[in-house]
Amino acid sequence: MAKSKATAPVESNDPPSSGEDEVEEVPPPPASTQAKSDEDKKARFEKKYKTSTRTNEKVLELQQAAWRSTTYDHFEPPRIVIVDGEVKYVFDCKTNPSAKPLTRARWDDSTSNLVRHVHACEKDKKPPPGQKAIDAFAQGTTYNPAKFRYKLAIWVARRHCPYAIVQDPEFLELLQMLNSKVEVPHPTTVSRDVREIFAIARTSIGKLLQVCSKLSSPPGCI
């Protein structure tokens, strides 16, 4: 009768259990027999995160450390609730706190509902086409930063105002009352703008005078 050969024990290279922060890797069942039921997902989740020996807060902490989707950034840290003995997470929107919270079983890793909310939320934030122009008209303003800067330099030069006037608190308050998005340049910038406008105007006027001189001179005196 042939004797069976003894099998040598196989040494494991796996590190010893680290305890509280350890997350057990649970391989999925073969594709041919892979179960897709909620019960199976829940069982695998409970085994992976050792929910029987960890607090709900610790389980959530470990989950959050594994989340990679930027979708979660749109929401406040999830709140833990227990409904009919089932631990669930409640996600509150940061952008619109009054929006209906989204609730998800903690073992469910799907983000489809969260993504749909983010898309809807971002769509609501964007004004409809033409709304920006309508709002500006309704407020009685056609503010343009470049045009405002030019007009400010012309006003300071013509009225002999000190450049520092653009930093006067009451003056700034008046401007912001008319348009909260107004961009007031620094006095040094206004001074430079005045010089540039003067240089451009002097060149243009010089060319204009040359043309006028030629037109007004008698024939043969040009």
Q: Six-digit token pair at 56?
A: 């709900």
What is the layout of strands, in order, in the sheet containing 86-91? 79-83, 86-91, 102-105
Which residues lie closer than 8 Å to 128 by C-beta, 6 or more apart? none
Q: What is the pLDDT of residue 113?
A: 93
Average pLDDT, the chain: 81
pLDDT of residue 87: 95
- Domain ranges (residues) in the chain: 38-125, 131-216
Is the pLDDT higher at 149 or at 221? 149
Given a cut of 60, whether residue 143 has pLDDT beyond it is yes
Q: Each residue of 108-126: pLDDT tens digit?
A: 988 999 999 998 888 766 6
Spatial neighbors of 30 by CB under 8 A, at least 6 apart, are none
Question: Read out DSSP for 72-106?
Answer: GGGBPPPEEEEETTEEEEEE-BSS-TTSPPEEEET
Amino acid at 182: V
